[in-house]
Copies of this chain bind each other. A is one copy, B any other.
Amino acid sequence: MREVFHQSLEDVQSRLVEIAELVTVAIERATKAFGTSDVTLAEEVIEADQVIDDKAIELDELAIQILARQQPVARDLRIVVAALRVSASLERMGDIAEHIAQLTRMRFPERAIPKGLKSTFTKMGEIDVQVANLLTEILRTEDLALVEKLRTLDDQLDDLHLSVFEKVLSENWQGEAGATVDATLASRYHERFADHALSVAKKVAYLATGEWTPDTDSIAVIVAADLAAVRENADGAEA
């Protein structure tokens, strides 16, 4: 019985890794489509999201079966519960890749990336792909040293997210309202992607160490505060 149980837990883990790999492919292709205005690729990302959703539902059913049949306790129980959480976050990361692809399709045949923000969004896309690869590795290896790397990437994305607002709110910004809407949504999607990844990584860290770092909204709060400062400076420059 214990052996069967450990096989099930390994099955849970390998399925999480598999979903994380699909999410990695999704964000790679979504950010590539976004950067090159490739509407065909964008549509492929949108269509493929259903596979991620289905796999997440299958994993949840497996987790519920394990709870029902094998009634795990202690750390094993927490692993199964954490898997339910992780699958929800991965599914949401897939949705975000889909949203980025939708922005691309919506703008086609025009460029999805507003003028003056090409290099910023290229960097954000590259970091999101690194984030997805690193998260897959963390799920596979439970190597907590990698969580710190993920945090560093998340900080870089927060800085880039802020720089988008700096650009949009500066007096040099020539974009029309449509470009401002696109920049705001795209930047938020890129930044949220890493937030979800960090939230998954924290759950893995919790399972390995037993120490819980709550998912506070501190990053959003910091961005809001910094954004307020950016605005004050912009107002000062205008006056």
Chain A residues with a Cβ under 8 A of chain B: 46, 49, 53, 57, 60, 63-64, 67-68, 71, 73-74, 77-78, 81, 84-85, 88, 95, 98-99, 102-103, 105-106, 165, 168-169, 173, 175, 177-178, 180-181, 184-185, 188, 214-217, 220-221, 224-225, 227-228, 231, 234
Query: Can you give 5 contacting A-B residue pairs, CB < 8 Å?
Result: A53-B216, A67-B81, A68-B77, A81-B84, A181-B184
Give A88 Cβ to nearest chain B Cβ, in Å: 7
**Contact among B88, B103, B181, B221 with A165 in the assembled complex (CB-CB below 8 Å):** B181
Shortest A46–chain B CB gap in Å is 8
Q: Complex: how many Å from CA A185 to CA B95?
A: 18
Q: Are B74 and A68 in contact (CB under 8 A)?
A: yes
Residue pair A169, B178 in contact (C-beta under 8 Å): yes
Q: A67-B67, A77-B64, A185-B184 are in contact. Are A106 and B224 (CB under 8 A)?
A: yes
Q: How far is the CA of A49 from the CA of B215 in the complex (A)?
A: 12
Identify whether the interface residues of A are mostly helix, strand, loop, or mixed. Answer: helix
- Interchain CB contact (< 8 A) of A217 among B49, B60, B180: B49
Beyond A64-B81, A81-B84, A85-B88, is A220–B180 a contact (Cβ under 8 Å)? Answer: no
- B184 engages A180 (CB within 8 Å): yes
Q: Using Cβ atoms and an 8 Å threshold, which residues of chain B touch A185?
A: 184, 188
Measured between alpha carbons, how far is A53 from B180 in the docked complex, in Å? 33
Residues of B within 8 A of A106 (CB): 224-225, 227-228, 231
Interchain CB contact (< 8 A) of A102 among B98, B99, B184, B224: B224
Q: Which residue of B lies closest to A220 (CB)?
A: B99
CB distance from A99 to the nearest CB of B (A): 7
Q: Is the CB of A169 within 8 A of B177?
A: yes
Interface-central residue, A74, A78, A102, A220, by most chain B CB under 10 Å: A102
